Amino acid sequence: MTKSFSTKNADGKALGFSTLAVHGGEPRPKLGNSLATPIVQTATYTFADTQELHDHFQHKIEREEYGRYGNPTQRVAEQKLAALEGAADCLLFSSGMAAVTTALYAVLSHNSHVVVTDDSYRRTRQFLTQTLHRFGIEVSVVPAGDYQAIEEAVRPTTRLLVSESPTNPYNRIVDMERFADIGKRHRVKTLIDATFATPFNQRPLEFGIDLVLHSATKYLGGHNDLLAGAVLGSAELVDGIRSLQHVTGAIIDPLAAYLLVRGLKTFGLRIERQNANAQALAEFLAGHPKIAAVHYAGLPSHPEHAIARRQMRGFGGVVSFEFKGDLEATSRVVDGCSIPQIAPSLGGVESLIEQPALMSFYELSTEERLMVGIKDNLIRYSVGIEDSADLIADLAAALERV
């Protein structure tokens, strides 16, 4: 096997984020002296003779075995993400939810208990409270940012604390150090879904979090053209999840892994621009008479602004805000925009806009939605890499017309 690009400079210091985004995890030279990472489109791998099979199973050589156990294109994407996150190991999946479900299956077992914060990805909570509950796993849902409630929810059978930061859709910020500290004192593992932050803005492992999870469909892929998920952490923890993935099979395919490597080349540039665009949009909205509230951690008015400043390099590309109007009037704001398109998902180069009440909670009534904290007048704007002046002028015109 060829050597991977070194993540440290001549003085032993870690290289900068964009240098790692371009070169991290990539072998030199690559197959056929290709500059780009080859897409190894194969289902299985051949052995020269039985001796090679013996050497493989006795771990004397490093090589691939079968497609479900990994692929060279996938390894490059994993090593690049591990370099960016400062993690010992990374494992990729076919989607963010494949990463969530496999990681939870790997860590939890019958009669164990898990604490999850509310205002988290709806499908994660659903998997815990509905699916895993059927297998005898107990779940406590506690308010995000209420550390006393998290602590009080811990039981002797608790195995895992799960949270997000920033959260979806309200951009709440969890204090990583406090969250990790609760886990450490109770000998319980901690998992943070850091999809909204990305490793550019926040590196949870540095604060003592055990496992970081990303929907790579969002900022990491960055072009709205692939689905993938990632789990990162210590070699031991990730290896336990990898063993289960070999069985459950929710692997990333070689083309998606290639698209992820390609998307990550511009990661530093994209996220810097998205941070700046979101900040500009949030500041514009904060001063607008037709806006009731803006939820963005980069605003001094955000309740956890100080925590965000302490643990984040930037505040991300999602701005959530409340229009002074009902469900229908809010829809007219969304429909009045001409640059962002209406779609689920976030994090790509194209701006996307949606009303969570309709996009994610359509089947619920206004009252039921309010019980889970989703207001009818809430808009989630995922800022792309367009010019911020254009995005602001477009939104200003939409607000003007309602």
Smallest distance, Å, CB 274 to ligand PLP? 15
121 is catalytic: yes
Residues within the interface to ligand PLP (CB under 6 A): 95-97, 121, 164, 168, 193, 195, 215, 217-218, 227, 229
Smallest distance, Å, CB 55 to ligand PLP? 37
89, 119, 175, 193: which one is catalytic?
193
Considering Cα of 234, then 79, then 218, then 130, what sign does the dihedral take?
A: negative
| Residues 89/212, Cβ–Cβ less than 8 Å | no
- φ/ψ (deg, to 5) at 260: -65, -45
Residue 170 Cα distances to 49, 148, 164, 187, 351, angstroms: 57, 21, 11, 30, 18
Nearer to ligand PLP, 5 or 105 (CB): 105
Smallest distance, Å, CB 226 to ligand PLP? 9
Interatomic CA distance for residues 119 and 264, integer angstroms: 28
| Residues 197/166, Cβ–Cβ less than 8 Å | yes
Nearer to ligand PLP, 7 or 195 (CB): 195
Smallest distance, Å, CB 344 to ligand PLP? 8
| Residues 381/351, Cβ–Cβ less than 8 Å | yes
What tokens does 253 get?
């395919």
Nearest Cα residue to 347 out of 263, 223, 226, 257: 223
Radius of gyration of the chain (CA): 22
In this chain, which residue has its C-beta nearest to ligand PLP?
96
Report how far apart the first and last C-alpha atoms of the chain are (Å, whole number): 61
What tokens does 278 get?
């979101």
Nearer to ligand PLP, 7 or 355 (CB): 355
309 is catalytic: no
Nearer to ligand PLP, 121 or 284 (CB): 121
What tokens does 402 get?
């309602």
219 is catalytic: no
68 is catalytic: yes
Nearer to ligand PLP, 164 or 354 (CB): 164
Smallest distance, Å, CB 124 to ligand PLP? 6
The catalytic residues are 68, 121, 193, 218
